[in-house]
Chain A
């Protein structure tokens, strides 16, 4: 289970369609065909429910994006120490980090989510100390468990990536930093971390797209994200395909936007030739 391969699976900027390639004869025919299909879907299927649910859908998308960004950022903050101790840490920290990554990467996210929500959620109320603490109003809600599960999962996958990235920074650069008399902390802050993040950036972006695709799982623990809104639509209108097709379209757009944004930022970071 190498990290390069997980990255290869993720949706990357190279997968985006390029504008100048659309004007080939067979593509024009295919595009016309696709347009016809979309018109047919628009005309033949029922979309009268859409205006009523638009505000809720907007909120749902917002919740999904919030989930994505908070868990990615928190997960990354956790991943840095996880990767670092696996490269330089003492053996017990190394072992702990390794076990953490293996266990999280070896079990389905849905199971982890349900373990936290149903397992811990049923355990917490039994301890009065927790029930009377200031955290209790939050622990009674579903979203902290969703955030926790997604963060842990992201940290475990990203921790492996960061391990590789930290290990891959050329030793000469670190030696040079030490020769300049940098302390361990400034060496880490100025050389090791930036170089490692730079190396890991394409993989990080791929993992963030994968994280976006994991967010709908939180709907199974009653967090009202865009997936949950669509489920609600399906229950109330008894429609099967229309809401799901819209949902697929929404996620397609979100992934596209995310990938374009990443490409923009990646191009802005100066890279000296290899």
Chain B
């Protein structure tokens, strides 16, 4: 009798859809809130990573020997150490350093929001990868085009804005798109430092209701939707950037 009850409970817990309802007894709203946080961090971290990546790529290609070596260390270390470890290190070191800095200036310690810390952490990790992607893309731009721009007397900023960046985009987009997908999935790692993004709230919801499979599948569906929707946009963007290119194969 006891066992039958347990099995019935199990079957019930798999298909109890009311747990996903948006209002209070259901956890759907909490899940969506976590999803929103995940997207915010992914977008912020990706943007920060792109900034670091553009700087890093130009530093690696055109910078002095010391800049180059330091950037090499940055990209090597980030690519050789697990994201989880980096996230822990950056999370503690970043918040600590900022507070010590503020303390030294005379301002009291601030409570750094998890969102900001998350964006910082994901951004630093993404920066190393986008440095590599952008460096490869810039190198793929025919050198003659950049030389021609210089010969026209364009300032370095103008060369960058008018020639290098637009010309390298078709080469960079596949790599950058891939990085975006990695960024969306890396936000899940912030669950380990206790930031309430989708994966962590899912685990909390699942733990509270014991409906583990339902909630983890629901969260998986949300992540998958994000990936698939992103893929549609990426496809369109890639076609746009590659217009005028001769199709290979």
Residues of A with Cβ closer than 8 Å to B? 1-2, 4-6, 8-11, 15, 24, 26-27, 30, 102-103, 105-112, 114-115, 118-123, 126-128, 209, 212-217, 220, 227, 240-241, 244-245, 247-248, 251-252, 255-256
Q: Is B161 an interface residue (CB 8 A)?
A: no
| Across-interface contacts of A252 in B (CB, < 8 A) | 77, 80-81
Contact in complex: B188, A110 (CB < 8 Å): yes
Query: 0/1 per residue, B206-221, Cβ < 8 Å to A?
Result: 1100101100110110
Contact in complex: A26, B199 (CB < 8 Å): no
B6, B80, B192, B212 — which one has the most chain A CB atoms within 10 A of its CB? B80
Contact in complex: B178, A6 (CB < 8 Å): yes
Contact in complex: B223, A111 (CB < 8 Å): yes
For residue B189, give the distance in angstroms from its CB to the closest CB of chain A.
6
Contact in complex: A111, B199 (CB < 8 Å): yes
Chain B: interface secondary structure? helix
Q: Is B147 an interface residue (CB 8 A)?
A: no
CA A216 to CA B84, docked complex, whole Å: 7
Contact in complex: B210, A115 (CB < 8 Å): no
Contact in complex: B203, A8 (CB < 8 Å): no
CA A26 to CA B228, docked complex, whole Å: 47
Contact in complex: B85, A111 (CB < 8 Å): no
In the complex, which residues 72-125 of chain B have their Cβ closer than 8 Å to any Cβ of chain A? 75-77, 79-86, 88-89, 92-93, 96
Known: A103-B224, A126-B6. A1 touches B177 (CB 8 A): yes
Q: Is B136 an interface residue (CB 8 A)?
A: yes
| Across-interface contacts of A15 in B (CB, < 8 A) | 75-76, 79
Is the interface on chain B under 10, 10 to 19, 20 to 34, or 35 or more residues? Answer: 35 or more
| Across-interface contacts of B216 in A (CB, < 8 A) | 111, 114-115, 118-119
Contact in complex: A213, B82 (CB < 8 Å): yes
Q: Is B65 an interface residue (CB 8 A)?
A: yes
For residue A49, give the distance in angstroms from its CB to the closest CB of chain B.
17
Q: Is B26 an interface residue (CB 8 A)?
A: no
Contact in complex: B83, A240 (CB < 8 Å): no
Ordered by A's residue number, 5 sampled pairs between the chains whose C-beta atoms are within 8 Å are: A1-B181, A1-B231, A102-B228, A216-B84, A227-B84
Contact in complex: B199, A108 (CB < 8 Å): yes
A230 and chain B: residue at smallest CB distance: B85
In-complex Cβ contact of A115 among B82, B213, B224 (8 A): B213
Contact in complex: B174, A127 (CB < 8 Å): no
CA A245 to CA B88, docked complex, whole Å: 10
In-complex Cβ contact of B203 among A105, A114, A212 (8 A): A114
| Across-interface contacts of B7 in A (CB, < 8 A) | 126-127
CA A258 to CA B99, docked complex, whole Å: 38
| Across-interface contacts of B210 in A (CB, < 8 A) | 122
| Across-interface contacts of A105 in B (CB, < 8 A) | 227
Contact in complex: A2, B174 (CB < 8 Å): yes
| Across-interface contacts of B86 in A (CB, < 8 A) | 248
For residue A238, give the distance in angstroms from its CB to the closest CB of chain B.
13
| Across-interface contacts of A119 in B (CB, < 8 A) | 206, 212-213, 216-217
| Across-interface contacts of A111 in B (CB, < 8 A) | 188, 199, 202, 216, 219-220, 223
Q: Is B10 an interface residue (CB 8 A)?
A: yes
| Across-interface contacts of A255 in B (CB, < 8 A) | 80-81
Q: Is B55 an interface residue (CB 8 A)?
A: no
| Across-interface contacts of B189 in A (CB, < 8 A) | 108, 110
CA A176 to CA B231, docked complex, whole Å: 39
Known: A106-B223, A126-B6. A241 touches B84 (CB 8 A): no
For residue A139, give the distance in angstroms from its CB to the closest CB of chain B.
15
